[in-house]
Amino acid sequence: MKNQVQLITYVDRLGGRRDGADLARLKALLCDPASPLGGVFGGVHLLPFFHAIDGADAGFDPIDHTQVDPRLGDWRDIKALTDGLDVMADVIVNHMSSESPQFLDYAERGEASAYAGLFLTLDAVFPNGATERDLLTVYRPRPGLPLTCATLKSGERRILWTTFTAAQIDIAVRHPQGRAYLAGILRTFAAHGIRMVRLDAVGYAIKKAGASCFMMPETFDFIAEFAQEARALGIEVLVEIHAYYQRQIEIARQVDWVYDFALPPLVLHAFNFHTAAALKRWIAVRPTNALTVLDTHDGIGIIDIGADASDRAAHPGLVPPEELDALVERIHVASGGESRKATGAAASNLDLYQVNCTFFDAMGRDETAYLLARAIQFFLPGVPQVYYVGLLAGGNDMDLLAQTQVGRDINRHFYGEDEIARDCERPVVRRLIELIRLRNRHPAFGGDFHVEPSGTDELHLRWQQASEWAALHINFRDLAHALSYSGEGGSREIFAFS
């Protein structure tokens, strides 16, 4: 994976119009030297572009995982994009749409279907029946049980695993049909130039009677086997897991790449509580084979810095529980109450461990603090990813939230081409692009990283490679800061983001 900042975006929400040319427009936006974003990013993570992009979960419930939604373009457009950029795509490992041809055939023909083994039933995991204790042991990211009762055309009723929604039917990934289905996705990706994949919801892919059914040893075995298959096709693998921070460290030792999901709430904590103590503790132990993020298409994770739910006393979080609760409340206040309307029981498709809000609004639209947060992200070891709404310092889309009643849509705005052009002229966006270019081009970021001594309310970071260096100093109490770096003829400095 190239050590440069990547963009994360939906194809149709960044200048798209769904007329079959969205992928071509995105390529022009990111690769044309005349574009305000031309040449800014080293890679792009395309959020689900498969048929169909507008299902129950914004493309994360594919009807056909091997077909590009024709409203965006086709596989030739994907291949053309890979000629200029590293491209990452999602392999939605855990489930597929209830509207998929495979599931419709199963619903029509039952056990006579060629796909009867593709979908995971309750009996397949609990052949001797499940007790109440068994079901309560299953880890849940959302309220309720991960099960849906389906009536087939024959009248037969089956209880199916549906980890997320009833429209997303879990795959039996260990069954030969499940293996063949996932292998076909990888081959299609490789044939069209995709060299990185993110395993979406892979933590839930393996189910085992009497266990949590989340990130078990058997899950790691599955990830290792899948990654080996991907590597044979020249594809790197990123694992997406929201979990207790110590668990994330353990996971990182066993996979190629993980997300640093603890970073966003810790950065918010540092600015809100005027202390770098928790952030420094994390920097000292965090995995470096990480993609650093402040925002994604999902919400801001809370579980990632909280105590382990299985034993809070023995396994405390990176911040005390009262400060974590206060942080959530401060995000709601900073966003003018908008995030409260999109989080938890206030909106459908909810996740118990996330606050739905743009990162810019979570920081109260303070441009100086926002740019300093991005500087921290870019200075930490790993490969930075910037979400398209965050790139444009976007605010909460309350109209889209009101329209869909899906909490995460508050941070999934549809940008027109004119809106992108206007936002790229805003000082905060111009300066963010300047930071991205510095991170991509300066040789110091290929050298050694150090956290220098400083007070508890300060953070001093430095990169050094031979005579090349870059340094970031921040005081969280008064936002005094300095970003400096070596340059031709001496050092250069960037001061006063405001």
∠ CA 255-142-377, nearest 5°, is 45
**Exposed/middle/buried for residue 293 (C-beta within 10 Å: 0-12, 13-18, 19+):** buried
Q: Catalytic: which of 69, 77, 86, 240?
A: 240
Contacts of 11 (CB under 8 A, 6+ apart): 22, 23, 26, 46, 47, 49, 53, 72, 73
Active-site residue, 295 included? no
Q: Catalytic: which of 86, 200, 323, 338?
A: 200
* Collapsed DSSP state (helix, strand, coil) of residue 451: strand
d(Cα 389, Cα 122) in Å, to the nearest integer? 39
CB atoms within 10 A of CB 269: 25
Active-site residue, 311 included? no
Among candidate residues 212, 231, 43, 196, the one with its CA nearest the CA of residue 136:
212
Residue 360 in tokens: 């810019």
The upper half-sphere exposure of residue 490, i.e. CA atoms within 13 Å in the direction of its Cβ, equals: 1
**Within its chain, how far is the Cα of 446 from the centroid?**
24
Amino acid identity, position 244:
Y
Q: What is the DSSP letter of 475?
A: E
d(Cα 366, Cα 9) in Å, to the nearest integer? 23
Q: How far is CA 451 from CA 18, 227, 283, 380, in A?
A: 46, 33, 8, 10
Which residues are known to be catalytic? 200, 240
